[in-house]
Structure 1
Amino acid sequence: MSLCSRLFYFSKKGSFFLLFLLPLNLFASLSFYEFFKTNHSIMLIINANSGEIIDANKAAQTFYQYTFEEITQLNIADINTFSEHQVLEELQLAKKQNRNFFIFRHQLKDGQIKTVEVRTTPYVLENQDVLISIIQDVTLERFKQNDVLHYQGQLEALVDEQTQQLQEAHHSQLIYFAFATLVLAMTILILLKILKNLKKLKDTLAYKNNEIEHLLDNNAVAIFLANSQRNICKANRRAYEMFGYTKEELMNQSFEMIHISKNSFNDFAPQYHKLLKQEMTNIEYPFKKKDGSIIWCSVYGTRINCETCTNEIIWTLIDITDKKLIQKERENTAQKLELTLEATNVGVWDWDIVNNHVIWDKNLYHLLGYEENAFKVTYEKWQSILHPQDKQKAHQSVQDQLQHGNIFMAEMRYKKADNSWIWIEARGKVVRYDENKNPLQMVGINTDITHLKEYESILKQEVSKKTKELNALNKNLEQRIEIEVQKNLQKDILIQQKTRLAAIGEMIGNIAHQWRQPLSVITTSVSGLKLKEELALLDSSDIDEVNECVMKNANFLSHTIDNFRNFFANTDEKERTFLVANVLETTINIIKNTYDHNFITLITKVNKNISYYGSENLLSQVILNLLTNAKDALLCHEILEKYVYIELFEKNEYIYITIQDNAKGIDQEIQNKIFDPYFTTKHQSQGTGLGLYISN
């Protein structure tokens, strides 16, 4: 019967009565609840703010094993075993993996824990914010998805009683005209009220239809309505988006349009037949998008029957392409892992500690020469096939892991099927604990190390042999080392003596420069005195003047001798605290005449307050060595304007003396060699190659 009311006229004794035969689907507001209640999918309506379960369909009551009254007294947190932290982790993981569902663990009334996939859609129902959740049990098959909400419903007549009363009134022949008029007036009033209610119900129906359309279009899964000829009668927005078609392209088309091929379309036909027999269907099936790409879907079908539709089916399709790819990748990875374990002689074991049940993979049986599952493995059985000398050590290693959480690792011998022994390296770790931190499950691997043990035995024999040979060589080597040490000591003494002689030679040259000018002054003064005597011009004042000049220069020569004598004093002098600037000044005075003679400008920047505890003489020798090298470098490269820069400063509790010249620097190739003994860039007649070595 259509949604439009049918109008009938009856005439009886001049009175006219009009009656409306109201449509059966007048109560369209019941459509969503009818869809919700009769759906085979597990569905809950949850308060979005408090988490209280407002409603649950029959499938949910059956799954969770609660009555309607019991389940509507629960909060969703009462059946979700995840902690708040685990829920947040799952939400982040779903966002990262770009999936539109969540994976939780729900507890049934009998205490069973089920792994479920939950698809939740926020919605406003009767001015209340709710969450409509579709739950699918994926405990055994992780990638199976449950169907989404579908709807069906029917309307019932609202005015049967009024119509019956009117018909009885029309058949009454004893009524007076006045009473008929009164009845007519009352009927008109009733009908006006009915018309008003009818308009209100139509508006409500339109609003509810819009709500359902909105709910379906905003659902995370694709929903198709198909007729008995397997044509698409209706689809939600997600369906068009999933397959890449527009509404106009899919509407009234055969489902073959989204199948991979004609054969695929025909192979899917048995699923229709199941539904027509009131059997449930839920399979994973590949389909084809508009661009030709393949999409895997979890398909759930529900048959609906009403006065306006017969044998129509609601198909719910959930995109599981990513899951299929992950599943395929896992299968490939598992296959590769199995091949790797076989190739490397590695077996895997899993120990249920509470029930004392151990699972071996086939590789572990094969390592011992047995067929897969040749015997039941327990902790006692494992102990029985160990070598007697290894049992206690293996048991203790396991107990340490169980008590302290260390990684179980032990090398032990196993008895094979042919009674021979095989060396095994076992590694394991507890991976699951109860709420009291008691171990529940341990997993690990066993690796065949028999060949390694054989190599180890051979290696030990070889090491023992080589050790004896090495001990014999060591005795001879110790004697040779002692001889070489004595030679090196003699060599070091000669190096020091040669360096000292070279320094003495350098100092003699400096003495010559220091003495040249004062000796020249003395000679000139005496010669002038002699000349005045010969010319009879000599008087006592001349003698006094010459005497003063000679004494002044003689004192300078004596002071110079003292400086050089101090420079070559014993290097084992007692250490003391001294001003570094004084040592620097004394050293510069020794070489200053040589610098002046070679037109080398010496520029200093000295902090005179820096003190140091040590040997003044050794520091002076190092500085003199560096100043001499700077002079030689400037002369070697024939620099016209020759400069040497000396700076003394303190930084971060360290004393720095920097000596720089404007020669060409040290080649990068030899920078790592300049402190080696006998290394020199000078001619053999000019350098020993020991100055920087001794200084360092």
Structure 2
Amino acid sequence: MNRSRFRTLLLDCLRCIGLVWAGLIVLAPVPAAAAPAFARIFTSHDVVMLLIDPVSGQIVDANPAAARFYGYPQRELRALGIDRLNTFSPAQVAEERQLAASEGRNYFIFRHRLASGDIRTVEVYSHPYVFDGRRLLLSIIHDITPGRFSRQDLWHYQAQLESMVDAQVKEIAANRARNTTVLLLGLLLQFGVIVALVLSNRRRRRVQHERDEIAAALADERRRLLDILHGTGAGTWEWDMRSDALRVNPTWLGFLGSSARAEGRLTDAAAQAFIHPHDLMRCLAARQQHLEGAHDEYECELRVRRHDGEWIWVLDRGRVVGRDPDGTPNCM
């Protein structure tokens, strides 16, 4: 056995003796008179010791050996909670406590993180005691990482710890994968919404462009029609059968003269007064035949009294341009 290995085994034996001796100190509440002796042992012993509040988990005190082991100054250690050192989750801590109880162990095996970030496998011997009326937990920590491969009895515990850590790593990886999937789905949904908005905007602009073209074409056709009507001197009329309102263009109104303007709102019944009595019945009959579907268009030659009283012959033509849902004509 080489000198280095012998020295390691000797240190382990000394630590174990220190653990047993320190554990005997705290098997009972510490009397006030024994407090100075306890303080000397706590500060001078080479065994890592922590005083922990069992309710909050706050480290109340740490001996110099703990400061050397964890790499924190004692002042910083007193400001930490034990959960800052223990890498186990609360569920894993509870599982290790149950495992220790089932195996009859009086210690726990945890993984503690040092100030350098290194992880050490440790045995933790804990026992409550009362000091100056305050209940505290004395935890004695023994580093078993260097002797992992020389102490076969730790293999089982190490396997348990590693399986627990592996389970935690797998859970983190699964959560990360789920979060990544949700993020990708969200991005795909957002991309789909953006594409739909772009396509909808393009379609809206295309429809608006088509509407503008149709409106321009209708305006152009209306202008041409007005030009034709103005050039030919033709009169036009539009009869709303639901209200009996009759709309005529200026040319047609010019034939009728001021007497038609005096009527105010011109109706079909009022316009019949301008038709020659001998032609009125024939005109109404021809129009009725068209309304009943006998002819595609209405056409009739009749005499109309002009504004100066003279009767003039006109060719009156028209057709139905609007119907109710039941097919009844409503505009001509």
Instruction: Please classify the TM superposition score into its range, dividing by the shorter chain length.
Output: 0.3 to 0.5
TM-score w.r.t. length of structure 1: 0.22
- Higher percent of residues as helix: 2
Q: Which has the higher strand share?
A: 1
Higher RCO structure, 1 or 2 (CA under 8 Å, sep 6+): 2
